[in-house]
Amino acid sequence: MFQSLDVLRTAQAMAVHAGRKHAVIAQNIANADTPGYRARDVAPFAETFGQGTGFVPRASRPGHVMGGAAASARPDERVPLASDPNGNSVSLELEILKAVESKRQHDRALAIYGSALKILRSSIGRA
């Protein structure tokens, strides 16, 4: 009956992804005044999570060795803002919005995990 608990694996993967995204956002904010720093971002969860297989490695550039860090940070495609004479591409407003979305994703993952555990407990007679 409980051989395949994909909902728990998905919730765990979603929480890990949100944590990675939050760490990259924090790094971007910390380097907001670093000359020439390019803002980084993490691929969306839907791109990195395969159907029931976990994170699927993908090459970020030609010749890239496929490894376990495929969902790591990648440079943002945004061009440096015109108001940044030092070439820095970090926008604090955008990073704050990304942080809010990352927190929501993490909260959603915890809610899914909690609901799944509640259903499992009810099915075995423990509330």
Residue 40 DSSP label: E
Is 43 part of a structural domain of the chain?
yes
CA distance 15 to 19: 6
In the chain the first and final C-alpha atoms are separated, in Å, by 19
Is 2 part of a structural domain of the chain?
no
Is 3 part of a structural domain of the chain?
no
Is 85 part of a structural domain of the chain?
yes
pLDDT in tens, the chain (127 residues): 556 688 888 899 999 999 999 999 999 999 998 898 889 999 888 887 764 455 555 566 665 554 444 445 666 655 545 457 788 888 899 999 999 999 999 999 999 999 998 988 898 887 6
DSSP three-state, residue 125: coil
* 108 membership: H or E segment, kind and range: helix 92-123
Domain that holds residue 37: 11-123
Number of folded domains in the chain? Answer: 1
Is 5 part of a structural domain of the chain?
no
Is 94 part of a structural domain of the chain?
yes
How many other CB atoms are found less than 10 A from the CB of residue 10? Answer: 19
**Has this prediction a pTM greater than 0.85?**
no
Is 4 part of a structural domain of the chain?
no
Is 18 part of a structural domain of the chain?
yes
